[in-house]
Amino acid sequence: MVTKHASYPKPSTSTISIILLPLIIFILITLIVYPNESKLQAATSDCTTSAPYADFTDRVKVKPDIRLLIGVLTLPGNYERRNLVRLAYGFQPEHSGHVDVKFVFCNVTKEEDIVLVALEIMRYNDIIILDCAENMDGGKTYTYFSSLPKIFDDEPYDYVMKTDDDTYLRLNNLVDTLKRLPRESLYFGLMTPCFGTKADHYMSGMGYVVSWDLVEWISTSDVARSHHTGPEDLITGKWFRDGGKAVHMYDATPEMYDYFQPPHLCYRHEFIPDTVAVHKLKDNLRWVKTLKYFNVTDGLKPSKLYHLP
């Protein structure tokens, strides 16, 4: 049996017009009264690309693993060396710490230095001028450490380093080493002398790190205040012994060493990849050989402006 479909009459043209006319009128009224409605929907349809959210994420910064202040003790007139050191520290492998490198000297007294140092400060903002007469072993290191708690009372560091302008530091290796060490009572550097009893040991003046709590102790200690003249590195170690400070002494041998000249000694050898510090870079040639070993200029891009072998 074949089932036949029922037939229905087709709607007339007038009937269709009656049905569509109200819909067309509604659309026209909507477009006239709410002309920006379609723009608003388009703007809110894709929240992943909204500018405010992108700006917020750009402002989020990862807190550094450590905060380290490196004080390079130098003289006001050593402009060429400061420029070289700035360049050397400006091209370093990335690391996860916050490291500030500051040049440290006592009161500036020469007329030419007053103007030129002022220009340096305006350009680089990396100089600390202590209230003292310029000296090497007459208390400059004590003045440096004891002044820091007042200078940085609003945002103290985890560690403070004293170093010289003939020392080259590999900042990534230094930061990676400090991350594994205590944040309190730390006394880090190249332990000197190589032999002898531990009671005689101190960290070489080429560069040593102390934790912030020891910096604060130095600033208030009568032991340090009353005995701050003499070989500064030896005196610093003596402060902790005489003051009864139980410090964690960490010997960075062989990663910290003097520039090599025969014969080999416990603190003098050839360059090594894990270097933290190289000391006694007394002239530009030694700096050049050191920087060349660590491939500091590998990032130089070819250009028509220059040609270097």
Distance of alpha carbon 224 from alpha carbon 214, whole angstroms:
11
Distance of alpha carbon 189 from alpha carbon 237, whole angstroms:
11
- Which pTM was predicted? 0.79
Distance of alpha carbon 248 from alpha carbon 182, whole angstroms:
8
Can you give the pLDDT at residue 23? 61
Distance of alpha carbon 184 from alpha carbon 186, whole angstroms:
5
Distance of alpha carbon 218 from alpha carbon 232, whole angstroms:
13
Three-state DSSP at 207 gives strand
Write phi, then psi, for 301 (nearest 5 degrees): -95, 145
Q: Look up residue 59 and give its amino acid.
A: R
Instruction: Compute the CA torsion angle 148, 149, 154, 158 (nearest 10 deg).
Output: 80
Can you give the pLDDT at residue 7? 46
Distance of alpha carbon 222 from alpha carbon 219, whole angstroms:
9
Pairing of strands 248-251, 256-258: unpaired
Cβ 226 vs Cβ 243: under 8 Å: no
Cβ 79 vs Cβ 116: under 8 Å: yes
Residues in a beta bridge with 188: 209, 250
Can you give the pLDDT at residue 200? 81
Distance of alpha carbon 173 from alpha carbon 176, whole angstroms:
5
Distance of alpha carbon 231 from alpha carbon 237, whole angstroms:
10
Distance of alpha carbon 175 from alpha carbon 67, whole angstroms:
9
> Which residues, 6+ apart, have CB-to-CB distance to 64 below 8 Å?
96, 97, 98
pLDDT in tens, the chain (309 residues): 434 444 445 555 555 556 566 666 666 655 555 555 444 344 434 444 444 433 433 344 456 789 999 999 999 999 999 999 999 999 988 888 999 999 999 999 999 999 999 999 999 999 999 999 999 889 999 999 999 999 999 999 999 999 999 999 999 999 999 999 999 999 999 999 887 666 789 999 999 999 999 999 999 999 999 999 999 999 999 999 999 998 999 999 999 999 999 998 889 999 999 999 999 999 999 999 999 999 999 989 999 999 988
Can you give the pLDDT at residue 19? 59
